[in-house]
Amino acid sequence: MEALNVILLLFMIVCAIAVAATKNLLAAVITFMAQGLAMSVVWMLLQSPDLAITEAAVGAGVSSILMFAALKKIHAIREKGEAEDAEEAEE
Amino acid sequence: MPKKRKNDPFKSFLNWLENGGNALDDEMQDALREETDEPSAPEPKKKAARKAAGKQTEEFRPKRAYADTWWYRLLAVIVAVVLIGLLLETVERMPRFGEADTLMDSELTEFYVKHTKEDTGALNIVTGIILDYRGFDTLGESHVLFIAVCTVLLMLSIYGERDEQNRLLQGEMERHFEPGDDVILQSAARVLTPLVFILGIYIILNGHLSPGGGFSGGAVLGAGLILYQNAFGYEKIEKFFTYKTFKGVSVCSLMFYSLAKGYHFFTGANRLDSHIPNGIPGNILSGGLLLPLNFVVGCVVACTMYALFTMFRKGEF
């Protein structure tokens, strides 16, 4: 159990640094999601299932989805249709 | 703006102090430029819509007035460093994790552990505390969520008459691209959505017995709604969840919460009998007001999660 704890905490630290370091915003959000998921497992190991459920639903789920929506709004993610159009334009 | 990435960090920091950074990275700036530089040759309707949206993003780029000055950025760094120092200092002063004598002198902890079951009829002490002893706080939290949604609504409808068409166009665009008809997403959602909903309802209804409660269950429900919307589009979800549903459910839930809590406070403060039996701890119908309160909090949270998502996507509900 101790080893699992250490692995999870190290994973979270790596993820947190990666979120700040990466230039790709989409990758940053996905890394953030992974960090939230690890966090929820850590809450479970700390014997607070209430928080684990909330963290899994909000931290790893809804907040990342909201960030995806925001990235789409500022055109940081290209949609399927848009990508096709861009290819057409290049041709 | 010259970019020196491989230089030593201090030099690049000084460079940043002098010139400032850009919130949008290079790739995104290129994307924006491409969009605005598109030749205005006869183009299909879709493209015109996107161009309008692109212009909009141009317009709404933040102006850098204060952020352009070097002292502003220096102050930002100083504030950040001081804040980090303060927080680290606070952590240092907190009781060590897992030590035996942590919070031993707190009467409150003991009181809660001893009395929650008979006072509130809840096996889950956390729910007993947040919905009964600290019910007023949770009332405020639910209202904060509702107010957040109202604020987003106000912010997004600030365009006014002139940009009304722009906004409608944007909504149309979102509708046009939805649903993506993604086979993988749709088959996964077909299996997962019912499971997610059942899990959310289970968490809400068993809030006073097992881990979880209104907020967690509501968040799970909201995530399920978002998943369903992403997979099957707005038309399917508007069969059972529209702006009207959101308004009705949220307002009714908050009003019920306020009334129930008001009644509880009134009878409690005047030492009257509230006539709400606590039931046998462990039964599903027990815990007095906890079950209905968990239910309404779950409704508010689920609606809020979905509403925030939809409004950011479409610009309206």
Q: Considering the domain boundaries, does residue B308 fall inside one?
A: yes
List the single range of B21-35, B38-52, B132-146, B199-213 with lowest mean pLDDT.
Answer: B38-52
Q: Considering the domain boundaries, does residue B115 fall inside one?
A: no
Mean pLDDT (whole number) for B115-121 = 79
Domains of chain A: total: 1
Same domain, B269 and B188: yes
> What tokens does B86 get?
């303060």
Tell me if chain A has a CB within 8 Å of the CB of B203.
Answer: yes
Same domain, B161 and B269: yes
Same domain, B138 and B76: no
DSSP structure string for A6-31: HHHHHHHHHHHHHHHH-S-HHHHHHH
Domains of chain B: total: 2
Q: Considering the domain boundaries, does residue B52 fall inside one?
A: yes
**Which of A37, A54, A72 is the mutation pick for testing B, counting most B CBs within 10 A?**
A54
Mean pLDDT (whole number) for B276-300 = 82
Mean pLDDT (whole number) for A19-39 = 91
- Cβ distance of A69 and B312 shorter than 8 Å: yes
What are the tens digits of pLDDT across the range B38-57? 544 444 455 555 555 555 55
Choose among B24, B215, B226: nearest Cβ to A54. Answer: B215
* pLDDT of residue B203 exceeding 60: yes
Same domain, B80 and B161: no
Residue of A nearest to B98 (CA): A46
Choose among A62, A82, A86: nearest Cβ to B222. Answer: A62
**Which of B55, B208, B310, B313 is the mutation pick for testing A, counting most A CBs within 10 A?**
B313
B232 to chain A nearest CA, in Å? Answer: 16
User: Among residues B76, B93, B110, which one ends one of the domains?
Assistant: B93
Please name the amino acid found at residue B145: L
pLDDT band at B82 (very low <50, low <70, confident <90, very high): very high
* End-to-end CA gap in chain A: 56
Query: What range defines the domain where residue B18 resides?
Result: 9-93
pLDDT score, position B159: 58
pLDDT score, position B201: 93
- Across B50-101, the runs of DSSP E, i.e. the strands, are none
Question: Of B291, B277, B300, B303, nearest to B207 (Cα)?
Answer: B291
pLDDT score, position A78: 67
Same domain, B61 and B164: no
Q: Considering the domain boundaries, does residue B219 fall inside one?
A: yes
Has the ipTM of the complex gone over 0.90? no
User: Among residues B93, B110, B140, which one ends one of the domains?
Assistant: B93
Same domain, B54 and B129: no
Tell me if chain B has a CB within 8 Å of the CB of A20.
Answer: no
- Cβ distance of B211 and A53 shorter than 8 Å: yes
Q: Which residue has the higher pLDDT, B24 or B247?
A: B247
Mean pLDDT (whole number) for A50-55 = 89
Between CA B260 and CA A61 the distance in angstroms is 31
Question: Which of the residue ranges A17-26, B31-40, B93-102, B287-296 has the most confident prediction, judged by mean pLDDT?
Answer: A17-26
Query: What range defines the domain where residue A68 resides?
Result: 2-90
Mean pLDDT (whole number) for B193-213 = 90
Same domain, B288 and B147: yes
In chain A, how long is the greatest CA-to-CA distance? Answer: 58
pLDDT score, position B1: 45
Q: Which residues of A touch B32 (CB under 8 A)?
A: 75
Q: Which residues of A touch B28 (CB under 8 A)?
A: 25, 74-76
Residue of B nearest to A54 (CA): B216
**Environment class of residue B50 by beta-carbon count within 10 Å: exposed (0-12), middle (13-18) or buried (19+)?**
buried
pLDDT score, position A76: 73
pLDDT score, position B199: 93
Mean pLDDT (whole number) for A17-37 = 91
Average pLDDT, chain B: 77
pLDDT score, position B4: 45
Residue B294 has a CB neighbour count (10 Å cut-off) of 30
pLDDT band at B78 (very low <50, low <70, confident <90, very high): very high
What are the tens digits of pLDDT across the range B171-191? 666 666 555 677 888 899 999
